[in-house]
Amino acid sequence: MYAPPVLRRPARSSDGRRTGVLAVVVGLVISLLAFVPATPANAASSLLSQGRTVTSSSEENAGTPATSAVDGNDGTRWSSAFSDPQWIKVDLGASASVSQIVLKWEAAYATGYRIEFSTDNSTWTTAYSTTSGPGGTETLNVSGTARYVRLAGTARATPYGYSLWEFQVFGTTGGQGGPQIPGGGDLGPNVLVFDPSTPGIQAKVDEIFKQQESAQFGNGRYALLFKPGTYNNINAQLGFYTSIAGLGLKPDDTTFNGDVTVDAGWFNGNATQNFWRSAENLALNPVNGTDRWAVSQAAPFRRMHVRGGLNLAPDGYGWASGGYIADSKIDGQVGPYSQQQWYTRDSSVGGWTNGVWNMTFSGVEGAPAQSFPDPPYTTLDTTPVSREKPFLYLDGSEYKVFVPAKRTNARGVSWTGTPQGESIPLSQFYVVKPGATAQTINAAVQQGLHLLFTPGVYHVDRTIDIDRANTVVLGLGLATIIPDNGVTAIKVGDVDGVKLAGLLIDAGPQNSSVLLQVGPEGASADHSANPTTVQDVFIRIGGAGAGKATTSMVINNDDTIVDHTWIWRADHGDGVGWETNRADYGLRVDGDDVLATGLFVEHFNKYDVQWNGENGRTIFFQNEKAYDAPNQAAVQNGSIKGYAAYKVADSVNSHEGWGLGSYCYFNVDPTIRQDHGFEAPVKPGVKFHDLLVVSLGGQGQYEHVINSTGSPTSGTSTVPSTVVSFP
């Protein structure tokens, strides 16, 4: 916000593919399997194997890993070498009472195999064996206690290896054989669902806005959801912790002849504190031809179609410090006007009128040409890797969550033509409501459910563990998680394809060492085919009350995509002070091949971003150093004045960044000097494009931009110092 004036993975192998006659056989078998019903697991049992650690005696090639047999996707498979014997083994994570095994064979199945159980991964007992396996989908009723379950193949039906679409283990853990946590259900009291015939829509929307307009640190949380159709004469003004979204599969399914508006009347025309709100999946026909979206951090504008222009400044063109657009189409011009910085990804615009300090685009049709620093446009033709945020929608009368597919070198919106991705029924989600405990949330994940957090504030006394591949964790209405007793709020396992989206993590008063951890320390699995995504997940330390965290977000998993985050040590509100809301580090990246698109990290006591992993990339970075540093000594980093906003470790050999800015406003001691905003090793593989540092009103100064390169900021003119290319 602008104040007024490790371990490294081995080289990856290429993806081999089986060709020839077998491809035809596979197609026929897939068609036949569609008519083979699978017997459901017993009501008291749950799926224990999905997303768990799995190993095998061999893999046919890199495209058929063992993990594909427990990923919940009937379109991916494990296949072995073309020899006997072979095995695949899943670690359930804890001893369980196993009651059923479901084998979904590809064309290359086993006629002879054993199902074996072990509690210690050493001593094995046979739970089932056959010499006449039929292939297809086999449902085996078994019994026994096991942490490790192994399928040992002894005879193949074809010359090829053993090949499984899915290896599913059902049972119960912890001796609990009682009722399962139900999936689905209603969306709770703070989700308001409208259709075009709903009476009094404008009055209800106005009522929510009046409550939330200036409730910057309040507890109200709301999601306003609109069923497909056309809505006339609507002006939905959005206040704090309010999300608005259409319930169609595409934005044009839900059309407003009207506006979705964010302005700054509550703050005397200053939009620099218009945080924590969102608009998604709607088409707008603005009343006067231009919609107003005057926001700053943590206010995503996603999957929107504006049939007109978009004004990103408040009425009167007061200060604004946003912002983020993704997967959106704006038919007319986008006018940032007073916006200091903005990032737009994988979208289409009819034009862009101006830039102040840092306007960055990747994969945007109609974006202005590269011209940094004058005008300050950083433009990439495509986004290297992206996967749009999951969203709730209606398929007829049934709620589902659509999970868009990963795109490589994306350009333009993802929703033209037939949207690519996966639809998951709400019945496969635990719908989390205020009062739910971390114990229940974890049990739901272990049971095989995804998580949909309804709007509210959730205190957790233990970590929410997401250690099952492809789990979707989606928040509505800025659902907020507060860790008690110094625990980590959320941890993700070293597994494929977890999607975290739409959450606010608020530090508790007892220091947490980490608030969000993606992957365990030392994680090294290859997730390039199916990365974890962290989207619109915001972290706050202080502001709503005293909070502390040593490090806010740690990324250990390779290939993770962080797509729009604001990690903020509060500079205003309650519980704010150099030691009161102490938080030394914002983001630490230890994983390799991590991509950040839209990275906002501000005000940390030491490094805002530390990047230790190889092959990291950041497209757009916005930062302010901590305002409240009491003196030069408090930020002295050995012989270096101040901690860099963005530090790449000396050991790193490959890293790249585009459109990165750091600002200082040392209002407690304006004599503080910061050696540089960015620090990185000088190596051929470490590259930066379009960097800037700014002294806001002369409250403190930078000596350089990156390392000892770049001119110092000077005086009170608030003019950036820039570096176009480094080294």
Catalytic residues: 624
Residues 568 and 298: their CA atoms lie apart, in Å, by: 10
Pull the structure tokens for residue 631: 């003196």
Whether 251 contacts 415, CB under 8 Å? yes
| DSSP-derived secondary structure letter, 53 | E
What DSSP line would sit under 317-354, residue for residue? Answer: ---B---EEES-EEEEEEE-TTBSEEEEEEEEEEEE--
Burial (CB count within 10 angstroms: exposed 0-12, middle 13-18, buried 19+), residue 371: middle
What DSSP line would sit under 193-251, residue for residue? Answer: EE-TT-TTHHHHHHHHHHHHTT-TT-S--EEEEE-SEEEEEEEEE--TTEEEEE-SSSG
Residues 559 and 386: their CA atoms lie apart, in Å, by: 11
For 84, 319, 420, 527, 698, the CA distances from 571, given in Å and listed in that order, are: 64, 17, 41, 37, 18
Element (H, E) at 44: none
Residue 94 neighbours by CB under 8 Å, 6+ apart: 147, 173, 174
Q: Which residues of 210-249 are buried (b: 16+ CB within 10 A; e: fewer)?
A: eebbebbbeebbbbbbbbbeebeebbbbbbbbbbbbbbbb
Residues 579 and 582: their CA atoms lie apart, in Å, by: 5
Q: Identify any residues that bridge with 380 across adjacent strands, giving them in sequence order.
A: 362
Residues 395 and 387: their CA atoms lie apart, in Å, by: 21
| Amino acid at the residue 339 | Q
Angle at CA 164, nearest 5°, toward 159 and 170?
A: 145
Pull the structure tokens for residue 113: 């195999």
Element (H, E) at 440: helix 438-447
Question: Greatest CA span in the chain, whole angstroms?
Answer: 84
Whether 280 contacts 262, CB under 8 Å? no
Whether 255 contacts 307, CB under 8 Å? no
| Amino acid at the residue 388 | E
The DSSP bridge pattern shows strands 512-518 and 490-492 to be parallel
Whether 656 contacts 319, CB under 8 Å? no
| Number of other CB atoms surrounding residue 207 within 10 Å | 12
Residues 376 and 358: their CA atoms lie apart, in Å, by: 5
Radius of gyration of the chain (CA): 26
Pull the structure tokens for residue 38: 């699978």
The DSSP bridge pattern shows strands 86-105 and 53-56 to be antiparallel
